[in-house]
Amino acid sequence: MAAGCCALGLVLAGPLRAGGQVSVEDLRAFADAWGYIKENFVEELDDRRLFEAAIRGMLSELDEHSAWLSGDDLDRVEEQASGRYGGLGLRIVVQDDHLRVVEAMGNSPAQRAGLVADDRIVAINDTELNASNSREALNWLRGSPGSRVELIVERDGEAEPRYVVLHRELINRSSVSLEPLEDGYWRLHIRQFQHNTADELDQLLSTLRTDHGLPPGLVLDLRDNPGGVLQAAVAVADRFLSEQLVVYTEGRNEGQNLSLGSGVGESLPGVPVVVLINRGSASAAEIVAGALQDHGRAIILGQRSHGKGSIQTVWPLRNGGGVRLTTARYYTPSGRRIEAGGIEPDELIADEDMLQVNGSDPVLARALQLFRSAERLYRGSGQLD
């Protein structure tokens, strides 16, 4: 055990003493602590549990986004980036004591079982959700295609919770959808930024131009978009900007200082754009909203965004786990740091006006009002009227 402890101590070669290096006494103290815990904790522990706990503890001291990843966690990171996973076809927001449904995807197990937006999942496979396990519960919804999941679901207006049994399927999650609105306007909804998001977007916009021509206005809906792949966010912004800076990053190492910009030309030149955001819009979604706002390419409508302005790099480790580490912070083209502050909308919508009632969407309705009244809308020259 002693040799293993010392090896782990070398991984912990950070400033255990303010401004100092790890000493031999520090390594011995760590080995002592390991021994006390191993021999005296009220429950018997194995070395792997202590080993992973040590890494988790080290990373948790850094920031809220750095973390130890199990093998299952690594699989989930790849699933989110690729859009393919074994699951139920749900988009979820984690709350303190439940999972809130944002969307049940079309022709998914969740949709066929009758789940709808704003349903609250309060128990999974007989385990009630609470503040300590609700984030972990996201993994409980995933699994091998064909496997069974039991949910307890609450819904506003219903006195009794629902008991729902579903079977997981292989989900190919589309990240982009396009739908017509009134008077020739269109809504482009990006749910998450995946590796294939830009390709999906190009196909939809190509069909739009071919079948309908350039629309009089486009709503880019980034509400409850948690972010995703940085390169996908830059590629999406590139479709609306021409030869302009999208985002720049600053880190400790030279290779983490990047300036990422758009190429020549736009997919919808001259088309006014209104971007919808809320508190669930984070990370890559904030990069897109911030870039279009800074360059005067769009009006931002909704609530202040989440404020996740940092980049995490994932390193798989040789034991099957991995490390997710914050390696840089990103800034909008004008130099705004998104971390904690978020993106401030050009027009702020009050909480009570964000709620959808009987299928109506007041924020989307306000976007259409902006188009019709030509209030401060982009006209194709990078200026705002």
Percent of the chain with pLDDT strictly greater than 90: 52
Task: Answer yes or no: is pLDDT of 193 > 90.
Answer: yes
Query: What residues have CB less than 8 Å from 244, skipping those under 6 apart?
Result: 261, 262, 291, 295, 333
- CATH (domain of 144): 2.30.42.10
Q: What is the DSSP letter of 196?
A: T
Q: Considering only residues 340 and 323, tell me which one the structure prediction assigns the higher pLDDT.
A: 323
User: Going by DSSP bridges, is the β-strand pair 162-167/148-154 parallel, antiparallel, or unpaired?
Assistant: antiparallel
Residues 300 and 153 in one domain: no
38 is catalytic: no
| pLDDT given at position 357 | 65
Residues 20 and 54 in one domain: yes
Residues 153 and 188 in one domain: no
**Average pLDDT over all residues of the chain:** 86
Task: Answer yes or no: is pLDDT of 259 > 90.
Answer: yes
Residues 166 and 185 in one domain: no
Q: Is this prediction's pTM over 0.85? A: no
Residues 306 and 222 in one domain: yes
Quick check: is 381 in a domain? Answer: no
Query: Which of 119-123, 186-190, 290-294, 337-341 has the lowest average pLDDT?
Result: 337-341
Quick check: is 79 in a domain? Answer: no
Residue 91: band (very low, low, confident or very high) from pLDDT cuts 50, 70, 90 = confident
Task: Answer yes or no: is pLDDT of 8 > 70.
Answer: no
Query: Which of 9-23, 200-214, 302-316, 341-355 has the lowest average pLDDT?
Result: 9-23
Task: Answer yes or no: is pLDDT of 174 > 90.
Answer: no
Task: Answer yes or no: is pLDDT of 109 > 90.
Answer: yes
| pLDDT given at position 356 | 67
Domain boundary residue, one of 127, 143, 172: 172
Domain boundary residue, one of 140, 157, 172: 172
- CATH (domain of 249): 3.90.226.10
Q: How far is CA 196 from CA 213, 240, 334, in A?
A: 24, 17, 28
Average pLDDT of 220-240?
Answer: 94
| pLDDT given at position 138 | 84
| pLDDT given at position 85 | 78
- From the candidates 238, 294, 305, 310, which is the catalytic residue? 294
Quick check: is 69 in a domain? Answer: no
- From the candidates 66, 108, 267, 283, which is the catalytic residue? 283
Residues 140 and 218 in one domain: no
Residue 114: CB atoms within 10 A of its CB come to 12
Nearest to 93 by CA among 71, 114, 121: 121
Burial (Cβ within 10 Å: 0-12, 13-18, ≥19) of residue 140: middle
Task: Answer yes or no: is pLDDT of 37 > 50.
Answer: yes
Task: Answer yes or no: is pLDDT of 162 > 90.
Answer: yes
Residues 269 and 136 in one domain: no
Domain boundary residue, one of 172, 193, 227: 172
Quick check: is 78 in a domain? Answer: no
Residues 180 and 165 in one domain: no
| pLDDT given at position 384 | 35
Quick check: is 197 in a domain? Answer: yes
Nearest to 288 by CA among 163, 176, 152, 147: 176
| pLDDT given at position 7 | 28
294 is catalytic: yes
Task: Answer yes or no: is pLDDT of 9 > 60.
Answer: no
Average pLDDT of 120-126?
Answer: 95
Residues 260 and 140 in one domain: no
- From the candidates 221, 238, 308, 310, which is the catalytic residue? 308
Q: Which two tokens stand for residue 84?
A: 């393919």
Quick check: is 264 in a domain? Answer: yes
Q: Which tens digit of pLDDT belongs to each residue from 353-375?
A: 777 666 688 999 999 999 988 65
Distance between CA atoms of 29 and 24, rounded to whole angstroms?
9
For 293, the domain range is 176-373
Residues 275 and 158 in one domain: no
Q: Which tens digit of pLDDT belongs to each residue from 301-334?
A: 999 999 998 988 888 888 788 888 899 999 999 9
Task: Answer yes or no: is pLDDT of 209 > 70.
Answer: yes
242 is catalytic: no
Q: Angle at the Cα of 154 (from 149 to 159), degrees rounded to 5?
A: 135
Q: How many domains does the chain have?
A: 3
Residues 162 and 202 in one domain: no
Query: Which of 171-175, 231-235, 331-335 has the lowest average pLDDT?
Result: 171-175
Residues 251 and 282 in one domain: yes
CB 346 within 8 A of CB 332: no
Quick check: is 189 in a domain? Answer: yes
Quick check: is 71 in a domain? Answer: no
